Amino acid sequence: MKYNTFKQALVLTILFLSMSASYGQKSLTVDGYVKALGTFSQLDRSYIPEYLHNAFPETSQDYQIHNRLNFRWYGNKGFSAVMGMRNQLYWGYQVNNVENYGSLLQDNGYFNLSTYWQNENSYIRTFIDRLYLQWQNDQWKLRVGRQRINWGINTTFNPNDLFNQYNYFDFDYEERPGVDAILVEKY
- Judged by average pLDDT, the poorest of 8-12, 18-22, 106-110, 141-145 is 18-22
CA distances from 86 to 12, 128, 129, 172 (A): 18, 6, 7, 12
The whole-angstrom separation of Cα 64 and Cα 92 is 9
- Judged by average pLDDT, the poorest of 51-60, 89-98, 101-110 is 101-110
- Say whether 96 sits in a helix, a strand or coil: helix
33-89 pLDDT, tens digit per residue, is 899 888 888 888 888 888 887 877 888 898 989 888 999 988 888 899 999 988 888
CA distances from 151 to 83, 85, 159 (A): 21, 23, 10
Give the ranges where the chain is alpha helix by DSSP (H): 6-22, 93-97
CA distances from 122 to 36, 39, 71, 134 (A): 15, 15, 27, 37
- Say whether 88 sits in a helix, a strand or coil: strand
**90 or 111, which is more confident:** 90
The whole-angstrom separation of Cα 90 and Cα 96 is 10
* pLDDT at residue number 10: 60
Q: How confident is the model at residue 136 (pLDDT cuts 50, 70, 90)?
A: very high
The whole-angstrom separation of Cα 171 and Cα 153 is 16
